[in-house]
Each structure stands twice: as C-alpha cells, then as structure tokens.
Structure 1
Amino acid sequence: MSRPLSVQLYSVRTESAADRAGTLGRLAAMGYGAVEAFDVTDDAAGLRRITDDLGLDVSGAHVVQVLTGDPGRVFDAVATLGTDLAIVPAGFPHEDFTAYDGLARVAERLNSLAARAGEHGLRLGYHNHWWEIEPRLADHGGRHALEVLAELLDPAVFLEVDTYWAAVGGADVPALLGRLGERVAALHLKDGPGTKDDPNVAVGGGTMPVPEVLDAAPGAWRVVEFDACAGDLFGELQASRAYVSALEAV
C-alpha cells in the first residue's frame, strides 16, 4: 500500500477542540501520514495550513452537512483541504435501509449530490454503520442492504467501508469487501469486542480479522478510527499505527 496511513480526526475531537495544531502534531510524530476531516465547514483553510506545515495529506473528508445545508459551500471546503474525496457518513433514516424503496431514495439523493460534487472536482462517497449491513433483503438474494445500495448508485459514487461496523452488522467483512470490489475506495479500521455499545481498542487488539480485511481491499485508503476508546487514546492510536504498518510492510 503506497498511500500513508490516515486517522479520522473524529477520534481526537475532544483533544483537537482544545489544541488542534498540537493534536495533529502528535499524530504526525507517531508516524501517521494523513488525516481524514469530519467537520469541514469549521475553518478548512486553517486545517489545511496545519496539515501542510506538518506534511500530512488529507485522505478525505466527511460531509454530513451536504444533506442539510448548502452542498456547494461544503464541497468548496473539501476542495480547500486538498482532497477529492467527500464522504457522506450516514444522515439517512435507518428504516430506509430495510427495504428496496428506501434504498432507492438514498441512492437518488447520493447520485444527485455526486453530480454536484463533480462540479467541484470531487468524488462523493458513502460511509456505513451497522444499520446498512444488518438488514438483508430477501427479494435480492438475502444480500446486505449496503450491497443492494451499491448497485443503485452511480458508478462515480464510491464506498468507504467501516469494517468494524460491518462486522457488528453481521457481515463476513473480507467476503463483503471482495464482493464490493473496486467500489471501495477507503476503509475505516477499528477494533474491539464486536458489539454496538462497547468502546474500541487498538487495531489488532480485538475481534477483527485485520490481515484478511486489508488483503481484501488492497487499493483502498486505510483510515484508523476510534468512536470511543477503552484505554489511553494516544497510546491506542500509536499501537494501531504500529500494527497496521507492520502488516502492510510484509
């Protein structure tokens, strides 16, 4: 994998709120080479200055705001960050993923937003949680809702697969990634006990089959994330970087 290992800045949201430059500096010092933004409308230019100063790439940006605000303003902020990947991280009713009609509505909205993103030189993606995985559509071969959604999306729309939430939703994650194929442009790597409510642990320290996951999507960005942390956050981030980097070096 030639791209640098990234970390989703939601993981350090509390620390960044207190000292954004110092927090990103700690991530860079650990050896992370990229970050993924999550609040792009909050001083994108300032974040870009920090990442440039630290030599960090921006692997992508989460853009839930496109569902409720002016998409053009949000996409301009993403472009300011220097990435071309704008990722919608949920924001649709959970029940839309339980039936084909709901999936069609989600796909129509994402396809429309993808056209707007293209006007800004960006690609639009969608990031899953457990509720896009857990439903299986009996009239579509019993496949996970996310797989059916992928068929309804314009080919320009990519997926960022949160591998931990996919496992929590009941997926065989390496097999799912294999079926989704080149649609997957990024992976969220996290680990833990495989439950909905418990905190995360360092990647490699929980139930996830991380080597098989990485092998199943060799061309995707690797993005470490903690929704919540069971231990010392920066220590767990360091351990995650060391584990993933060692696997990628093999």
Structure 2
Amino acid sequence: MIGLSTASVYPESTAHAFNYAALLGYDAVEVMVGIDALSQQTTAIQQLIDHHGVPVCAVHAPCLLITQRVWGTDPWGKLERSAEMAAALGADVVVVHPPFRWQKDYAREFVQGIEGLELSTGIAFAVENMYPWRASSKRSVEAYLPGRDPSTEPYANATIDLSHAAVAQTDPIAMAERLGERLRHIHLTDGTGSAKDEHLVPGRGNQPAAEFLKYLAAADFSGHVVAEINTRKAATSQQRSADLAESLDFAREHLGMPRIERP
C-alpha cells in the first residue's frame, strides 16, 4: 500500500490531500494531526474517506514543535487520542516521534509506555527515526530521548523517514536491516545530507531511495510506504500535483509495481 501524507500538500488542507490522493491513484492517506482543524476531527476525516473512496492507513500523532498544544499538552493524552482516531478510521498504525530531550518524565517512561499502548489499543505505534539538530557541520545537539534511532531500542514497530536519515547521515538500508520485521512504516522522501530536514521528492536528493525500495520489495515488506514530501515552494496546484505524481510513480517503479496511466 502506497499512501500520501497530508503533510505533503501543506499549505493546502487535509481535504486537498484526499483529493490529490484520489486523483493521482494513491492507495491510502496518512493523516498528520496538526494545526489544520479538520485533521483533528475524526468525523470530518471519515467523511473525506467516504467521499473520495481512499482509506486512512496511518495517523501521525501531533508531536512536532508546532503542534505542541494540539490535543492538549499531555504527550500520553495525544497518543491515546491518536490511537482512538486510528481505530475509528480503520488505520493500523500511529506514527510517533521520540520525546524531546526536555520532556524528561515522558522520555523516562517512553519505551515501556509505547509497549503498554500497543497492548491496550491493538494499534502499532511506529516510532520514527529522527536526527541531531545541527547548526553547522561541526556543531550538533542530540534533541531526542531515549534516542533518535529506533533500531537501538526494543520497540515492536518503527518508521524510517529518508529525509531524517539524510540529516542524521545514517544509512537507511542498514537501519532497516537492524530493525528486521520491526520495520512497519516508511516515509518516502529524500534529502541531501544538509542540516535542514528537506523532505525532497524521492530521487532528487542523494539518499539511496531507489535501492531502499528495492530492498523492501526483496524483503517482502508488508507495511505502508507513504510519500511525505515538502511542496511548499510549488507555485500552483498543478506543480504540487506533478510532485506528488512523481513521488508515487517513483515508489511504484522501484517497488516493482505497474505504473499508473493517467489522462
């Protein structure tokens, strides 16, 4: 299943993401719960599913800096609400970032807490790889606890994001090998290895995006591959649509799936 993250259409809305997904031939949508009020409303998302005929495969919990107050300030409450939304929409994955370093109490209980949530909800909480915050090539800050690499912790489920791997200068294929069957979810994108989290269209950076997808196909990966790209610089909806279509075609080609013929 190849999905489209609603974050990929920003500054357009969650509703626009479902429209793009349906028009371009994506199999599903990942809902980024964010400052778009619609993204926080399960009933509204269900209406989009029904209207466009595109299911939701995953819910991304509101754990970004800009979403620190979405659904309150209690991090565990945010995850519980994310699981409730996922269950109501028929999604089987909640994507979550590891805690920020200053969230010490949350970080101390994070590994055990994630395991408990999975047991109590039946939803996979796929912890995402992150990156050091770098001011330059020589100065960086480790901003996440218990760590930014999910393969070093005993999580049952993990997400690999290729843009985050680029910033961290980490080999995503080696990370996938370490995770093995614990790899549940992919954010397909790209980066150049700069200090900026670029989220480029796959194939436009220097990450082994094609090789990574071929590795997944050879390993019979059964999770979700979700395009999560930055289209903020697209001057028109046509340009944004072209970037989204290119990302989907890239995924299908290197996963060994037939190309979608569009008008």
What TM-score, normalized by structure 1, do the two folds share? 0.76
For 1:88, give the aligned amino acid: V
- Give 2:7's aligned residue: 10
The one-character-per-residue Cα deviations of 1:103-157 (angstroms, maximum 9, x if unpaired) are x97373242133134322212121122239x889xxxxxxxx545x545435xx3
Q: How far is the alpha carbon of 1:90 from its aligned partner?
A: 4.1
Give the Cα separation in 2 of the matches to 1:174 and 1:195: 19
Give the Cα separation in 2 of the matches to 1:158 and 1:198: 23
Q: Cα–Cα, structure 1 residues 198 and 77, in superposed 2: closer, same or farther, change >3 Å?
A: closer
Give the Cα separation in 1 of the matches to 2:79 and 2:254: 38
Give the Cα separation in 1 of the matches to 2:157 and 2:54: 23
Q: Work out whether 1:30 is the aligned partner of 2:24.
A: yes
Q: Cα–Cα, structure 1 residues 74 and 187, in superposed 2: closer, same or farther, change >3 Å?
A: closer
The one-character-per-residue Cα deviations of 1:67-112 (angstroms, maximum 9, x if unpaired) are 1636443322221121121121344228x9xxxxx8x973732421
Contact 1:36 1:58 in 2 (8 A): yes
Runs of 4+ in structure 1 displaced over 6 angstroms? none
Q: Work out whether 1:233 is the aligned partner of 2:240.
A: yes
Give the Cα separation in 1 of the matches to 2:29 and 2:108: 27
Q: Percent identity?
A: 23
Give the Cα separation in 2 of the matches to 1:54 and 1:223: 18
For 1:83, give the aligned amino acid: A
Q: Cα–Cα, structure 1 residues 34 and 107, in superposed 2: closer, same or farther, change >3 Å?
A: farther
Give the Cα separation in 2 of the matches to 1:48 and 1:7: 16
Contact 2:98 2:127 in 1 (8 A): yes
Q: How far is the alpha carbon of 1:228 from its aligned partner?
A: 5.1
- Give 1:170's aligned residue: 169
What secondary structure does 2:193 align onto?
coil
What secondary structure does 1:167 align onto?
helix
- Give 1:86's aligned residue: 94
- Give 1:139's aligned residue: none
- Give 1:76's aligned residue: 84
Q: How far is the alpha carbon of 1:187 from its aligned partner?
A: 1.0
Give the Cα separation in 1 of the matches to 2:46 and 2:206: 35
Contact 2:99 2:107 in 1 (8 A): no
Matches within 5 A, 1:17-166: 20=15, 22-39=16-33, 42-63=40-61, 64=63, 67=75, 69=77, 71-93=79-101, 106=107, 108-131=109-132, 145-147=147-149, 149-154=150-155, 157-166=156-165
Contact 1:128 1:162 in 2 (8 A): yes
Q: Runs of 5+ in structure 2 lacking a partner?
A: 64-70, 134-139, 258-263
Give the Cα separation in 2 of the matches to 1:78 and 1:195: 33
- Give 1:214's aligned residue: 213
Residues matched between the structures, number: 226
Q: Cα–Cα, structure 1 residues 43 and 201, in superposed 2: closer, same or farther, change >3 Å?
A: same
- Give 1:140's aligned residue: none
Q: Runs of 5+ in structure 1 lacking a partner?
A: 97-101, 137-144
Q: How far is the alpha carbon of 1:244 from its aligned partner?
A: 1.5
Q: Cα–Cα, structure 1 residues 48 and 107, in superposed 2: closer, same or farther, change >3 Å?
A: farther
What secondary structure does 1:249 align onto?
coil
For 2:32, give the aligned amino acid: F
Contact 2:193 2:206 in 1 (8 A): yes
Q: How far is the alpha carbon of 1:35 from its aligned partner?
A: 0.8
What secondary structure does 1:160 align onto?
strand
For 1:46, give the aligned amino acid: A
For 2:119, give the aligned amino acid: G
What secondary structure does 1:69 align onto?
helix
Q: How far is the alpha carbon of 1:36 from its aligned partner?
A: 0.6
Q: Cα–Cα, structure 1 residues 90 and 112, in superposed 2: closer, same or farther, change >3 Å?
A: closer
The one-character-per-residue Cα deviations of 1:46-79 (angstroms, maximum 9, x if unpaired) are 1122123322121211113661636443322221
More helix by share: 1
Q: Cα–Cα, structure 1 residues 153 and 179, in superposed 2: closer, same or farther, change >3 Å?
A: closer
